[in-house]
């Protein structure tokens, strides 16, 4: 009976040690990614995307190469602190740029895996004005009011 109890205690001890080791690895990886910098391995490109005012969250970072037998593209999205990591990249030279809703694409920057690459987001696109769609505002109002009148007459009958 004592042998069974010792065996169980030993097995529980080993399981606790394995779990603690796994948790330490996960915490180390998270700590490596916390703060203002991103740690990159030899097959990754990573860094931060920053606008003129602050880090850019939720923008795409695109890496593209034609150095491989076929065109290769990888796209990731920045986190809430503007950090990104392009993992598991084959060895090649990549063109990396930023794309985001309401942003002009940034200039492509050449990079290779294993490098830290901080990027500047493109300029914000100006809101497009649709006033040019109708050069003569009076004529536009006339046409629109005619449409409204025609529609209201169809509904009345």
pLDDT tens, 111-143?
999 989 999 887 765 544 444 444 555 655 555
User: Which tokens sit at 83?
Assistant: 């950090």
Quick one: 54 and 122 in the same domain?
yes
Quick one: 78 and 46 in the same domain?
yes
pTM metric for this prediction: 0.59
Quick one: 97 and 58 in the same domain?
yes
Quick one: 19 and 87 in the same domain?
no
Quick one: 55 and 90 in the same domain?
yes
Q: CB of 73 within 8 A of CB of 94?
A: no
If pLDDT is split at 50, 70 and 90, which confidence band does 150 have?
Answer: very low
Domain membership of residue 132 (yes or no) is no
Domain membership of residue 59 (yes or no) is yes
Q: Report strand pairing: 94-99 vs 45-50.
A: unpaired
- Calculate mean pLDDT across residues 55-70: 95
| DSSP symbols for 121-154 | PPPBPPPPP-GGG-S-HHHHHHHHHHHHHHHHHH
11 three-class SS: helix
Domain membership of residue 8 (yes or no) is yes
Mean pLDDT of the chain: 77
């Amino acid at each position: 009976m004592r042998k069974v109890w010792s065996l169980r205690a030993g097995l529980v001890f080993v399981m606790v040690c394995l779990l603690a080791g796994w948790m330490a690895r996960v915490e180390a990886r998270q700590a490596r990614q916390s703060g203002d910098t991103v740690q990159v391995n030899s097959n990754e490109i990573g860094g931060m995307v920053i606008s003129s005012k602050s880090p850019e969250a939720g923008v795409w970072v695109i890496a593209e190469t034609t150095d491989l037998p076929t065109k290769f593209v990888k796209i990731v999205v920045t986190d809430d602190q503007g950090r990104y990591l392009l993992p598991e990249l084959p060895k090649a030279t990549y063109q990396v740029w930023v794309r985001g809703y309401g942003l002009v694409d940034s200039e492509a920057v050449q990079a290779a895996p294993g490098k830290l690459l901080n990027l500047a987001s493109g300029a914000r696109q100006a809101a497009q004005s649709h006033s040019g769609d109708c050069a003569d505002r009076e004529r536009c109002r006339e046409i629109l009011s005619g449409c409204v009148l025609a529609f209201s007459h169809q509904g009345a009958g």
